[in-house]
Structure 1
Amino acid sequence: MDVQELLRRYALGERDFSNVNLVHVCLTNANLVGAHLTGAHLIQADLRGADLTAAHLRQAKLNQATLADAVMIKICLISAELVDADLSGANLINANFSGADLSYVNLGGANLKGADLSNTNLTGADIRGADLSGANLKEANLDGADLNGAYLDNSDLSGANIIGANMRRAGLSGAKMPDGTIHE
């Protein structure tokens, strides 16, 4: 299936595109609200500005994809691969990344309020200035991640690996720290 076929079928009301192979395609500003892309291969895809609200991308492969400024409210990315992807400025309120591989991802300036990032690999991720207020980061691996200026107010970092993470100027008011203490 190519991009035109996917968009045509979506416009006709089809929503299930599980396991589709769309490597290195351009879906800039595409409207894919509620699409089911479970197991899809979207490696190096350009999804800048796309609307993926409530889309299902469980176990999808989005390595090196560009999702800057995309709207992905309540998106399901459980166990997805987003290695070295660009999600800068994306709206990811209440997104579910549980168990996903987000190593070296760019989440700079992204809105991740209430997101589930439990058991997520964020090794070397750029999370500068992102809003992670109320996010679930239980057991997340933040080794080498840059959280400079990020907002982590009321987030849960219990059991998270923050060794080597840059948390300078990070807002941590009310955050539950890896050792179980609440940051003042």
Structure 2
Amino acid sequence: MSINARLRDADLRNAKLKNAHLSSTDLHSTDFGHADLNGANLSYANLHSADLNTTNLSDTDLSYVNLNGANLSNADLSGTDLSYSDLSNADLSNADLSNANLSSANLLGANLGKADLSGAHLSTASLNNANLISVNLSSADLANANLIGADLSYANFIGANLSNANLSNADLSYAGLSSANLSNANLGYANLGNANLNYAYLGNADLHDADLNGVKGVVPGQFTDDQLSSMRLSPPIAEPEE
């Protein structure tokens, strides 16, 4: 099915649009609630403020799409291409974004609370001031991503790649960072209180004025002397018994 038209404010709730071609279509404020858009092509479409609540968007092409302020809560976006899309201030809470491609996407101020982003690609994505509370980012690629001031408390980063990411002023309290790669990451003024850093790699990470009080899984030698002198850590790391 090929559609290239102006469908602003249209009511397409429960529509069957599997594999539809909607590239470059104006869908501003359109209601797609509970619709099936599996495998559809919506690249370059305008979905500003659209309602995509509980919509099936798995394996859909949403690259270069304007989704500013859109409602994607509880949507199935697994395997979807969202690269270079504008998702600023969008609601993605409880959405399934497993293995989705969000590289270079704009997620400034977006709500991703409790979303599943396991295995997702978020390299160079902008997530500044985003809500990522209790999100699943296990094995996700966040290399060079911007997460300044983001709320990542209770997030699951097990095995994630956060190399060169900017996490300054981010809230990572109670986050699971086991086996995560944080090499060259900027964690200045970040809150890592009670986070689990078991086997996390922090080579050359900037930890100036970071709060690591109550952090778990830390072992002697995990931090350099410069890192230890610049951050807040209590209790101190116990030296191994001779």
Instruction: Give the TM-score, by structure 1 length.
Output: 0.90
Write the distance in 1 (CA, Å) between the matches of 2:145 and 2:228: 21
Q: 1:148 aligns with which of 198, 205, 211?
A: 198
| 1:1-184 correspondence runs (5 A) | 1-2=31-32, 4=37, 8-10=41-43, 15-169=65-219, 171-173=222-224, 176-177=227-228, 179=230
Q: 1:50 to 1:147 in 2, by over 3 A?
A: same
Write the distance in 1 (CA, Å) between the matches of 2:186 and 2:225: 13
Q: What amino acid sits opposite 1:176 in the alignment?
A: Q
Write the distance in 2 (CA, Å) between the matches of 1:71 and 1:178: 34
Write the distance in 1 (CA, Å) between the matches of 2:154 and 2:148: 17
Which consecutive unaligned segments of at least 5 residues does structure 2 have? 1-30, 46-62, 232-242
Once the two structures are superposed, residues 81-131 of structure 1 have per-residue CA deviations (whole angstroms, 9 ceiling, x without a partner) of 000000000011001100000000000100000000000001100000000
Report if the CA contact (8 A) 1:152-1:175 is conserved. no
* Residue 15 (structure 1) shift: 1.9
Q: Tell me the SS of whatever aligns to 2:80.
A: coil
Q: Relative contact order (C-alpha < 8 Å, sep 6+): which is higher? A: 1
* Residue 10 (structure 1) shift: 2.2
Q: What amino acid sits opposite 1:179 in the alignment?
A: S
Q: 1:78 to 1:178 in 2, by over 3 A?
A: farther
Larger Rg: 2
* Residue 78 (structure 1) shift: 0.2
Identity of paired residues, percent?
37
Write the distance in 2 (CA, Å) between the matches of 1:23 and 1:134: 33
* Residue 176 (structure 1) shift: 2.9
Once the two structures are superposed, residues 48-67 of structure 1 have per-residue CA deviations (whole angstroms, 9 ceiling, x without a partner) of 00000100000000000000
* Residue 171 (structure 1) shift: 3.5
Which consecutive unaligned segments of at least 5 residues does structure 1 have? none
Q: Tell me the SS of whatever aligns to 1:176.
A: helix
Once the two structures are superposed, residues 133-184 of structure 1 have per-residue CA deviations (whole angstroms, 9 ceiling, x without a partner) of 000000000011001100000000100000001142474358634626xxxx
Number of residues paired by the alignment?
A: 181
